[in-house]
Amino acid sequence: MRPDKSNMKMYMKKSGFTLVEILVASTIGTFVSLIAVGTLHSVITGSDMVEKNINAASEVRFACNIFSRDLVNFYHADSFEDTEFYAITEAYTEFETAHLYFYTVNRAKARIYEPECDIYEVEYYLDMEDDESLSLKRRVWPNPNLEFEPGGILTTIAENIEYFDVSYFDGETWYTEWPEDMESPPDLVEFTIMTRPLGLGNYISETHLVNLVRQVNETEATVQ
């Protein structure tokens, strides 16, 4: 028995896709793909921005903790002539930035297997890198002796710093500098470290206040 040709034509027509259907499906697929790619790009970009902010905030917090620790452990001698605390300001950008030196007590050795005392001279300042960004530097000198040339170990504790400001309070007035001819260290030290992650417009900053008078009083009470 020969097959019916009309039925074969109807079957062939129903088993395939028309050109219009293929174009519509292709357009929908392309549109969905574009949406998916755009969403993925937004997620990646947002994740990258969050990571940059977290890293920048952690770096600023790390630098603040180190600076605060050195200030808390500020070395107090019976005579201010036997210790050190002085600070100046420098201009790098539209802001003036702090540059200071002081003695601190550090129980952890700066150099392994090297003889050194517990009193260190520390120096904090901003330095310009090759890409013209500013980094916060910390220099530790384990032999603070006027008979020797200043040396020590220099490290970068925070990068891409926009602002490093320190103020000093003598009990009555706040100062932006603390000259070498001062007869005592400041009572309070307030500092702000501000950064801006690369590629982002938001600033991240932290401000801390350290009471040097309370530290020396607590030390004297402990000794007595």
In a domain, 43, yes or no: no
What is the average per-residue pLDDT within 5-33? 61
Secondary structure class of 35 (helix, strand, coil): helix
In a domain, 156, yes or no: yes
In a domain, 100, yes or no: yes
Q: How confident is the model at residue 180 (pLDDT cuts 50, 70, 90)?
A: confident
In a domain, 215, yes or no: yes
| 41-59 confidence digits (pLDDT tens) | 555 555 666 577 677 888 8
Q: Indicate the number of domains in the chain.
A: 1
pLDDT at 181: 87
Q: Is the dihedral of CA 181, 83, 184, 65 positive or negative?
A: positive
In a domain, 4, yes or no: no
Cβ atoms of 174 and 191 closer than 8 Å? no
Q: How confident is the model at residue 25 (pLDDT cuts 50, 70, 90)?
A: low
pLDDT at 54: 76
Q: Which domain holds residue 147?
A: 52-223
What is the average per-residue pLDDT within 13-33? 64
In a domain, 106, yes or no: yes
In a domain, 148, yes or no: yes
In a domain, 19, yes or no: no
Is the pLDDT higher at 49 or at 91?
A: 91
Q: How far apart are the first and last CA of the chain?
A: 120
